[in-house]
Amino acid sequence: MPRPRILIVDDIVEYLHALQRALMDICDVDIAQSLEEAKKVLSENTSLLLVDICLDESKPGVDRGGVEVLKWAKAHYPKIPVVMMSAYRDFDAAVECLNLGATKFLKKPIDIAELKSLVKELVK
């Protein structure tokens, strides 16, 4: 079985690099900071997408750039599971994402052991 490949989309580049380091032993990790970047990287070879809801640092809690990534991914690659994350306790956003086809919604700070288990489970 080929090594799984996941794409993480978040506006904090240092966070992307830290997640890349943390997940490197179980999968290959691509990173993107916006929908445009995600479009370039996402492919049939992607096993899982992990997306922060807010992709604009000037509008945390308001911006829903990650939801656009989710919509685009579901329209073009419906089989790829999408896990959403957010630093906010935003019930409405979580429901909206799940209705749009997200598999799970994680609240930051993320528990890395839990994330690793989730990745292993979803890329099976």
Partner 1 sequence: MKIVVIFIRENTELFPTSGQGPQLSQVVQSYPLQNGWRRIQISQDRELWIHHVEWKPEQQEWQYIRDTLKSVSELYVALHSTTMSRLSSQIETEFRKTFSEAQVFVNTFSRVEGNDIWRHFSDLVVAVQNRESLFDQVAEAIKKKLTLTQRLSILKHRIAHLFLPIDVDLQGLIETGFRQDYWNEVVEAYRDGRAVGNLTQARQLLYGTEGEEDTVEKIVNEAIRQAPTREGEINEAWQQVQSLLPKNGSLPCDYRDVEQILRDLGCQNKREDVKNKCKDRNNPFHQWFVKLNKALDELREALLKEGSTGT
Cβ-based nearer residue to partner 1, 104 or 116: 116
Query: Do the beta carbons of residue 5 and residue 45 sit within 8 Å?
Result: yes
Question: Taking CB under 8 A as the criterion, which residues in 55-114 touch partner 1?
Answer: 55-63, 65, 87-89, 108-113
Residue 44 in the binding site for partner 1 (CB under 8 A): no
Picking from 66, 33, 64, 30, the residue whose alpha carbon sits closest to that of residue 48 is 30
For the bound state, the minimum distance from the C-beta of residue 81 to partner 1, rounded and expressed in Å, comes to 21
Q: Assess 41 for contact with partner 1 (CB under 8 A).
A: no
The four Cα atoms 16, 18, 23, 28 give a dihedral, to 10 degrees, of 50
- Alpha-carbon distance of 35 to 43, in angstroms, equals 14
Binding site for partner 1 (CB under 8 A): 12, 14-15, 17-19, 21-22, 25, 33-34, 54-63, 65, 87-89, 108-113, 116
